[in-house]
Amino acid sequence: MKREKRTLIILLIFLLFLLFIMNYTFLDNLVENSLLERESFVVERIIDGDTIMANGEYIRLLGINSPEKGEKYYDEAKQYLENLIFNKTVQLEFGTEQRDKYGRILAYIYDGETLVNQKLILNGYANIYFPSGKDNYYGLFLNSWRECIKNNQNLCEKSTSVEAHCIEIFEFDTENQEVIFRNKCERDLNLDYWKIKDEGRKRYFFPIFTAKKYDYFTVKVGEEDSSENVLYWRGEDYVWTETGDSLFLRDDQDKLILWYSY
């Protein structure tokens, strides 16, 4: 009996020791991986709402896209980012591709525990942007955009136009590069100079256009043909990517009518 008890105690001690070694190895690897994935940079200049210069390198913030110069909220996004991190030491976490075609470093930026990319989305200074495909941050950023919509600020500010609640997406066809909209209201709608934007820089501006009551209309990427009730997005080979994208429909005052992500 004593021998069996002693054997059991030895076995328990061995298991505890093994568990300690496994946990230590796991934690050691976790720390090592974290150190390898993040590097410290000093922010020297803010280029715009999604690009900075640090350690002499241009750095493009991953997962977001902020307004370009001349667009609404460009100055505000740049100033917000400057207030957050200018002249600070930040940590960079790299994606699967470390540089873009312009030679800029691609990274998620941490200021301590604060994920700067996410903060820009939450406060309506950038939309989500995953041109190379969704990564582990996609869900977090998508929820941040939804939170921004609830707060109704900046890029997330909803249109107060009487037409705003009347337009819906009926079908999104990425294969044929077309989106079918429906006017669900019992009256004609003036959509003059409304605009559609993808997650990146591609934009379509509506001509003078009226959506008839309860009627459908299509915005299609490509050259014009004789199809009825179709608006053609010219100058692009494609807009809607196979790996996922977003559509942002805005009125003539740049206020948000609707958005859709896939």
Residue 128 has φ and ψ, to the nearest 5°, of -65, 150
- How far apart (Å, rounded) are the C-alpha atoms in residues 221 and 196? 12
The answer to whether residue 33 scores a pLDDT higher than 90 is: no
At 34, the pLDDT band (50, 70, 90 cuts) reads: very low
Instruction: Provide the residue range defining the domain that includes 83.
Output: 37-155
Do 64 and 104 lie in one domain? The reply is yes
pLDDT at residue number 5: 54
**pLDDT digits over 121-162, tens only?**
999 999 999 999 999 999 999 999 999 999 999 999 999 998
Asked if the structure places residue 241 within a domain, the reply is: yes
Asked if the structure places residue 2 within a domain, the reply is: no
Look at residues 155, 182, 201 and tell me which one is the last residue of a structural domain.
Answer: 155
**pLDDT digits over 169-206, tens only?**
999 999 999 999 999 999 999 999 999 999 999 999 99
Do 41 and 145 lie in one domain? The reply is yes
Which residues make Cβ contacts (< 8 Å) with residue 181, sequence separation at least 6?
Answer: 167, 168, 169, 170, 211, 216, 217, 218, 219
Do 150 and 47 lie in one domain? The reply is yes
CATH number of the CATH domain containing 141: 2.40.50.90
Asked if the structure places residue 225 within a domain, the reply is: yes
- How far apart (Å, rounded) are the C-alpha atoms in residues 84 and 141? 18
CATH number of the CATH domain containing 234: 2.60.40.1260
Do 142 and 170 lie in one domain? The reply is no
Do 178 and 210 lie in one domain? The reply is yes
Do 165 and 245 lie in one domain? The reply is yes
pTM, two decimals, is 0.83
Asked if the structure places residue 15 within a domain, the reply is: no
Look at residues 137, 155, 173 and tell me which one is the last residue of a structural domain.
Answer: 155
At 14, the pLDDT band (50, 70, 90 cuts) reads: low
pLDDT at residue number 53: 98
Segment 213-234 shows an average pLDDT of 92
Asked if the structure places residue 251 within a domain, the reply is: yes
Do 96 and 204 lie in one domain? The reply is no
Count of domains forming the chain = 2
pLDDT at residue number 259: 98
Asked if the structure places residue 5 within a domain, the reply is: no
Give the 3-state DSSP-derived string for 248-259, with helices as H, strands as E and coil as C. Answer: EEECCCCCEEEE
Do 131 and 210 lie in one domain? The reply is no
Look at residues 155, 183, 205 and tell me which one is the last residue of a structural domain.
Answer: 155
**pLDDT digits over 88-115, tens only?**
999 999 988 999 999 999 999 999 999 9
